[in-house]
Chain A
């Protein structure tokens, strides 16, 4: 029934677990997957002094490396299982917005994500981004533990 599963990742151990399960589900249902990792936009670098530009470039570079690592993990998992896969990087200060936007734009019919992400159990019982995706998504969401 599910034809296109969105797998958001922030590179955390739990999200890697969710990716494995997502790829397995996609394989069983003959669905394709889209992996997404969201980079912060960092609008707060407003003042363009030399030193800030330098810091910004450095952080953006680091974020990009992290995102590439995250997406490479999805691509590898999908390739091993023989599941068609696309990956996608988006910049947004609120990851949940980007996740829902991409899911809708790409006509995904399921979002599958871990209960917690990088910020771990600090987000208490359910991670904050997962909670927000659950609240705002019109597409079914599967929370993996």
Chain B
């Protein structure tokens, strides 16, 4: 782990993100999907791009769990990805980057 070099980017206030849903954050020319998984009391961040058809869409995906493991389903073709590891949960080859998230003073920060 190389966490010591993590840069924390201040994304938006907590209220900007729907509970048990996601929203997209712009960081320079990158797009990061941020999810407030309220049921688990956790925050997750991933690439906004779904690697299946390269669509900037995952922030509009649906949250859920598979045997207790948190996941997001892409709106286009229901490809599901682990929010913990970024791996595709249907056993397909592509995966997404996941980023650390912290919440401080009512704001959401993403480690980029």
Q: Do A and B form a real pair?
A: no
Residues of B that sit less than 8 Å from A by CB: none
Residues of A that sit less than 8 Å from B by CB: none
